[in-house]
A and B are shown apart, each in its own frame.
Chain A
Amino acid sequence: MVVFDKPHALADVPMHYCPGCTHGIIHRLVAEVLDELGIEGRTIGIAPVGCSVMAYDYFNCDMIEAAHGRAPAVATGVKRADPDKHIVFTYQGDGDLASIGMAETVHAAARNENITVIFVNNAIYGMTGGQMAPTSLPGQVTQTSPYGRDVKHCGFPIRVCEMLSELEGPEYLERVTVNSVKNIRAAKKAIKKAFQNQIEGKGFSLVEVVSSCPTNWGMTPQAALQWIEEKMLPYYPLGVYKDRTAEEAQV
């Protein structure tokens, strides 16, 4: 009996990510969910700009490449073109979603667009070589903050889930991580719910995945997972930040 194998929706090609980069795990979780829900054939994914810019090569469903940060806007168009048929997800990093694409993200959430957003937060710009991102932690050393992020000068990191949870619009917001087997299982559950919400027509669902970047953090893959636990999670606490259906059921 096969206990674990590559999901069908994930293309059988080598990925360009650095050794130990958790993008590979998150790609696989999305693909597993597409398999389990049986929606690969009618799913259209929107790839971002950033490390995961070539995500269109790694999924077997249809994919579109969006301009930097504009994935939720492209997803809106695709979804509205045929809302009953298409399942639309975006896969975006923090430099894409929380920086240049913040406006698109906030407005897609405020409109409660019926799309699924997978937001990979690794607190750094990976593809361009490790510059400070809107989500870099206070004091974090990056290429453009060599003495650590000074919040007096650079401002504070943005907590996307908390910020969006203040809006009336979004249906579901959850923050998960993939630094251990237990957390990977929880992350998959959240991603599955985000797609299930879209199938049921509930609206905007965003799953923020706290991820690692061993190369640009300057650590081994193991130390990077430990750094998530010790540094990232205290600033970015895991949990469900909005689940409108559950909230309405309680009232």
Chain B
Amino acid sequence: MAKLTFKTDRCKGCGLCVDACPKGLLRLAADTINKKGHHPAEITDEAACVGCASCALMCPDCVIKVER
């Protein structure tokens, strides 16, 4: 199991991480708006995450920290 930490207020809601996740575990939070006014990325099932860091590599704004 891996641990993802999001700097939510840095997220611009571009969704590149959502597409990068090989297991499809990320989504843009439809019911949340961050300080910038975007729907930030979040993980749906952290227990299923293997910590491959594809999302973090794809993120242009270094929002995601990956630990495992």
* A residues whose Cβ falls under 8 Å from a Cβ of B: 1-6, 10, 14-15, 17-25, 28, 181, 184-185, 214, 220-222, 225
Q: Roughly how many angstroms separate A79 CA and B58 CA in the complex, as a whole number?
A: 32
In the bound complex, CA of A37 to CA of B52 (Å): 23
Given known A20-B12, A181-B20, A221-B15, contact A6–B53 (CB-CB < 8 A) = no
Bound complex: CA of A16 vs CA of B34, how far in Å?
A: 16
Using known A-B contacts A14-B10, A17-B60, A20-B60, determine if residue A225 contacts B66 with beta carbons closer than 8 Å. Answer: no
Residue B16 at the A interface, CB < 8 A?
yes
B residues bordering A, Cβ < 8 Å?
Answer: 2, 10, 12-16, 19-20, 36, 38, 51, 53-54, 56-62, 64-68
- Are the C-beta atoms of B10 and A222 separated by less than 8 Å? no
Chain A residue nearest to B7 (CB atoms) is A6
From B10, B16, B53, contact of A4 by CB (8 A): B53
On whether A222 and B15 interact (CB within 8 A), knowing A19-B38, A25-B58, the answer reads yes
- In the complex, what distance in Å separates the CA atom of A167 from the CA atom of B16? 38
Q: Which of B15, B51, B65 contacts A5 (CB 8 A)?
A: B65
Whether the pair A1, B19 counts as a contact (CB closer than 8 A) is: no
Name the CB-closest residue of A to B22. A181
A15 CA / B61 CA spacing, docked (Å): 7
Is B65's CB under 8 angstroms from A181's CB? no
Tell me whether B66 and A4 are in contact (CB under 8 A).
Answer: yes
Q: Can you list 27 A-B pairs, Cβ within 8 angstroms, ordered by A? A: A1-B67, A2-B67, A3-B2, A4-B56, A4-B64, A4-B65, A5-B66, A10-B62, A15-B61, A17-B61, A18-B12, A19-B12, A19-B14, A21-B60, A23-B60, A24-B59, A24-B61, A25-B57, A181-B20, A181-B54, A181-B57, A181-B58, A184-B58, A214-B14, A221-B14, A221-B15, A222-B16
